[in-house]
Structure 1
Amino acid sequence: MKTLIWQDIRFQWKHGFYVVYAIITIFYLVLLSFVPKHWLDAAAAAVIFTDPTMLGFFFIGAIILFEKDQGILRPLSVSPLLRRNYVLAKVLSLLVLTILSSTVIHLGAAGFPKNTVLFIMAVSLSSIFFTLTGLIVSIFLSSVNQYLLAGALVITLLYVPLVDFFPPLSHPLWHAFPARAAVNGLYPAASEIPAVVSLAVMLLWGTAAYAVACICSKRLVGGIR
């Protein structure tokens, strides 16, 4: 398992993922430097939700499609590799990049989070869910163009619960969906619902996505469980 995670991190480093996100992180820090101080916590949370926690969704598609194109998956399909280990390695390796970027953005723009443990958990659970969702989508596609189109549709659907921020459309049920729960976890002041409830919602969605990803990944790597 450790070997798989390390291999994925090396792959991401070699192909410039970390360089790209270092540049993006600096860009956001510059952008947030113009935000009034009393809006910084909310602005930092918005940036982290819409980008670092979502990076896994887009990067995993590129990774899976690259592995398909290069024939990397064929040897894995006849190996004793556990599907769950393959899925976890992909998710956890991208989680490292998400946590690094999110932490630097928050520290650089708004200082330490009011609750560091809550912040890390919210970032982690959000990233895990969105990365798993991207993995599931990419399994059934064969090109980057297909993934970009399908990904845009999926993200649009996932973002629908954010209409909760518009009073005429707000409703407590929106908090049962991952995007709204993720925002509340990253910025608890955005809702009267306790952040721990939002984390529980994200955990449930993440667990379900993980189960589906493990089943669907049989199309990629075969293996057992």
Structure 2
Amino acid sequence: MMGNIIRTNIVLGVRSYVYPIYILIGLAYGLMLMMFPERYLPTLVPIFILFEPGLVGFMFVGTEIFAEKKDGAIGALSVTPIDWRGYIAAKTLIMSLLSVIGAVLIMAVGTRSLEGISYVITGAFLVSVVYTLLGIGISAKYHDLDDYFVPIMGVLIVSLLPFAHYHGYLRGEIWKVLYLIPSYPGIYFFTAPFEEVSTNALMWSAVALLLWAGVAYYIAKIRFYRYAVEGLR
């Protein structure tokens, strides 16, 4: 059953050009990074990688949800034997794998190196799982991109704040609350190819992202069933 759901999602994603465009964005980011001097890459590459698995994925999964609502594919989940939880899992897995491909393209093209790529792959996958699930849960209530625009901008702004704190631009004890944002643990994975990051920091970052994945799945499960499958407003 899961295999059928995954194949169907891939066919729909390719046919609607969502998945090819998603990968092309990763390539475009890599080409953009080639224009910057090498000394800027340790700062810019992590930001670009976060955009690919996290923020772009958050937007694209919402776009897919809207399209499948209009096609009646999601509404059919309430009257077919297809498990809507399997639908969420399949969508998350596909988007996360696409994010890994995009992140590898950013590294390979933008830095002309794959040194430390294992950190990037791990971080991209975990961050994408979190943001895809959040995207499914939040977008389930909306019906088009215009309504979804405000949540996208809110997530974008909040998710970029940890970079300002990480690089010392936001000082003071109050800003330590930014550690709770899921993009923060992702920073450690994305900067590991460029600077020394302790194993302990990477381990706790993975734990934080796994905890966030659990929270995001709970949000997605509740809201997707209520607003997308049942069609409540």
Q: TM-score under structure 1 normalisation?
A: 0.86
2:171 is paired with a residue of what secondary structure?
A: helix
Counterpart residue type for residue 221 of structure 1: V
Question: CA 1:218–1:180 in structure 2 vs 1: closer, same or farther (change >3 Å)?
Answer: same
The equivalent residue for 2:221 is 214
Counterpart residue type for residue 211 of structure 2: L
Contact 1:183 1:190 in 2 (8 A): no
Counterpart residue type for residue 209 of structure 1: A
Residue 203 of structure 1 pairs with residue 204 of structure 2 = no
Counterpart residue type for residue 102 of structure 1: A
Of the structure 1 ranges 204-213 and 22-31, higher mean CA displacement relative to structure 2 is found in 22-31
Question: Percent identity at matched positions?
Answer: 24
Deviations 1:18-52 (A, max 9, x none): 43234433332222112222433432222111234
Structure 1 gaps, min length 5: none
Give the superposition deviation at 1:179.
1.5
Question: CA 1:83–1:127 in structure 2 vs 1: closer, same or farther (change >3 Å)?
Answer: same
Give the superposition deviation at 1:167.
4.7
Question: CA 1:36–1:162 in structure 2 vs 1: closer, same or farther (change >3 Å)?
Answer: closer
The equivalent residue for 1:186 is 190
Query: 1:26-37 alignment to 2 at 5 Å?
Result: 26-37=27-38
Counterpart residue type for residue 110 of structure 2: A
Give the superposition deviation at 1:148.
1.4
Give the superposition deviation at 1:104.
1.3
The equivalent residue for 2:10 is 9
Residue 80 of structure 1 pairs with residue 81 of structure 2 = yes
Give the superposition deviation at 1:129.
0.7
CA RMSD of aligned residues (A): 2.3
Structure 2 gaps, min length 5: none
Give the superposition deviation at 1:160.
3.7
Contact 1:56 1:127 in 2 (8 A): yes
The equivalent residue for 1:100 is 101
Q: TM-score under structure 2 normalisation?
A: 0.84
Size of the alignment, in residue pairs?
A: 221
Please give the alpha-carbon distance, in whole angstroms, between the structure 1 residues aligned to 2:170 and 2:222: 39
Contact 2:30 2:108 in 1 (8 A): no
